[in-house]
Homo-oligomer: A and B are copies of this chain.
Amino acid sequence: MVNMKIGIVGGTGDIGEGMACRLSHKYEIILGSRNEEKACKASECTVELLKERGLKACCLGGANQKAVDEADIIVLSLPFRHLESTLECLTGLENKIVITPINPMGKAKDHFYYDRPEEGSAALTVKKLLPESRVVAAFNNIAAHKWKILDEELDYSVAVCSDDEEAKKIVMNLVNDIPKLKAFDAGPLAVSSIVESITPLVLNIAKYSKLKDVGIQFK
């Protein structure tokens, strides 16, 4: 067990629950939600699911604030439109590693587009809202529901951006702890807008090339 706790804010979606399933045999996970009961149920499901696979999971549920309070690494598993209102209700994120997999997107008549925030990217928006946190962009380009299909390995690349070199290394190790996922250092947080924009691109490729769940690999 790695001596580091991961709190997932908005943890009852596909990404949160899938991440819990894929990491809770190695890290202690706290699934957070506005709905505490829902988070507790999701954590129990995770423990049960891994037990069926012969794995001992360490996964608790609770309010989003509990996920922040108890964890060393916080994952913001939220749509961009809920980012600011959610962070306004949370305290104590200073000096913690905050991972953002958030991709601001829109849908035009015939394609998905990157809906660039005023600050340049979702990660730069998080940095502005949480100037004292160690913000890292990661896990941006993995289809949400792929996380929960435990029988499939996530054979993808993950571009990781941060202005905090130490935090970036810790998150890259976390990425590499998930079988087949491979972390790539993509440089400072300023690069995050490109990483985030790949998600609408792969959605367009899936739509136009008639594929399901397109991901990327760097090679």
Q: A residues bordering B, Cβ < 8 Å?
A: 108, 110-111, 113-114, 155-156, 159, 184-188, 190-191, 194-195, 197-198, 200-202, 204-205, 207-209, 214-219
Contacts and interface: CB of A to CB of B under 8 A. Distances in A.
Nearest to A217: B217
11 contacts: A111-B190, A113-B191, A184-B208, A185-B205, A186-B205, A186-B209, A194-B198, A194-B200, A198-B201, A216-B217, A216-B219
A201 B194 contact: yes
A195 B201 CA distance: 7
Contacts of A159: 201, 205
A110 B201 CA distance: 25
A151 to B, nearest CB: 17
A219 B215 contact: yes
Contact of A110 (B187, B204, B219): B187
B214 A218 contact: yes
